[in-house]
């Protein structure tokens, strides 16, 4: 639902703070026509690189 320039700016801000930018469909049920689980609006896509970055950032061992 956000225009491309805003999405670009938000991604830049996340990178500037050392955050891993992810995204999703914001799916909360079937009451919003045209908004499907894992699809969202328009050209939504979450790159595999986001998943890879999350895996790389996770602790290797559970905290005790």
Residue found under tokens 């896509």: 45
Domain that holds residue 51: 1-16+39-56
Kindly state whether residue 26 falls inside one of the protein's structural domains. no
Q: Convert the pLDDT of each residue in 15-57 to its tens digit.
A: 999 999 887 666 677 777 777 666 666 677 778 898 899 999 9
Residue 8 in domain: yes
Tell me, yes or no, whether 25 lies in a domain. no
In a domain, 52, yes or no: yes
pTM of the model: 0.62
Cα 9 to Cα 6, 17, 23, 36: the distances in Å are 5, 13, 14, 26
45 within a domain of the structure (yes/no): yes
State the DSSP string of the chain.
---HHHHHHHHHHHHHTTPPP--------TTSTT--TTT-STT----HHHHHHHHHHS-SS---
User: What is the domain count for the chain?
Assistant: 1
């Amino acid at each position: 639902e956000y225009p491309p320039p805003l999405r670009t700016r938000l991604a830049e801000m996340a990178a500037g703070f050392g955050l891993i930018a992810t995204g999703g469909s914001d799916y909360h049920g079937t009451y919003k026509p045209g908004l499907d689980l894992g699809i969202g609006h328009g050209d939504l896509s979450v790159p595999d690189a986001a998943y890879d970055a999350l895996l790389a950032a996770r602790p290797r061992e559970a905290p005790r």
